[in-house]
Structure 1
């Protein structure tokens, strides 16, 4: 019998043909895709700001952040609004996903370490890999992905941008 402490819940989503997951506890809500308010001179993966319940939330094209091709909007495109713990503060951001699937439990012993070769993204942004349905689910380490020195998000997310 599996005890609750030996498994964690994850929200799974896809970018192209690849399946990713983030811990369910960081997901605030999942929204339909809407175009964001553009921010001048932002990095290419920063699509802009979106009003989420009165808060200006930076919206990220995760495909671009991971070195993939730009997201093409479809009826299935969603934005995962996340609250990511970053050092002593909380970074709120929206991640664009081609499709959001479900919440699934992964047992700790199922989670393998990140591969070092043969992948399109830098492995230091991967907290683990789970084998599922003949393929892999990549668990994204959001704090690492958005804490690099080149990330303009750490400044944008630190501000509380309120809409009138």
Structure 2
């Protein structure tokens, strides 16, 4: 039997054909997708605000934040409401996912580092990669993805459109 120090629980979700995961302890709830209240002049990945139990929570299109195409809403589209520890504060965020799958345990020995491709690339948001029969699961480092000082992806949406 696995001990808490050798195993961690993650919520898995998809963006397109790719599978991602976040630690279960940061997930507050999973909601059906609703159009958020638009905020003028926000970054392209900020879709707006959503009321979550009396709190205005920014909704992020994670596909755009990661340099992918904009999310196309389907009946499976969900919003993961997360409490992300960033620097000295707790950041409440709603991440749009194409589909949310399940909570899965990963042995810490299964989690590999981001692959080395010989050149610098924006992999700072990857906390680890887990191999599965159907491919890979990318574990996202949410604090790094959404902190000002550590974000590897500032401006990535603009670069993706130019490319």
TM-score > 0.5, shorter chain as reference: yes
**Aligned-partner Cα distance in 1 for 2:107–2:92:** 27
Scaled by the length of structure 1, what TM-score is found?
Answer: 0.87
Scaled by the length of structure 2, what TM-score is found?
Answer: 0.87
Measured on the aligned residues, the alpha-carbon RMSD in Å equals: 1.7
**Aligned-partner Cα distance in 2 for 1:6–1:140:** 19
**Number of aligned residues:** 149
Residue 150 of structure 1: how far off its partner (Å): 9.8
**Aligned-partner Cα distance in 2 for 1:7–1:68:** 30
Name the residue aligned to 1:13.
Answer: 13
Q: What secondary structure does 1:143 align onto?
A: helix
**Aligned-partner Cα distance in 1 for 2:21–2:60:** 16
Provide structure 2 residue ranges, at least 5 long, that are not aligned to the other structure: 152-163
Name the residue aligned to 1:52.
Answer: 52
Provide structure 1 residue ranges, at least 5 long, that are not aligned to the other structure: 152-164
Name the residue aligned to 1:157.
Answer: none
Name the residue aligned to 2:89.
Answer: 89
Q: What secondary structure does 1:4 align onto?
A: coil
Residue 81 of structure 1: how far off its partner (Å): 0.1
| 2:29 and 2:80 in contact (8 A); partners too | yes
Name the residue aligned to 1:27.
Answer: 27
**Aligned-partner Cα distance in 2 for 1:134–1:10:** 17
Name the residue aligned to 2:78.
Answer: 78
Mapping 1:1-164, distance limit 5 Å: 1-117=1-117, 122-148=122-148
- 1:77 to 1:7, Cα distance in 2 relative to 1, 3 A: same
- 1:67 to 1:76, Cα distance in 2 relative to 1, 3 A: same
Name the residue aligned to 1:154.
Answer: none
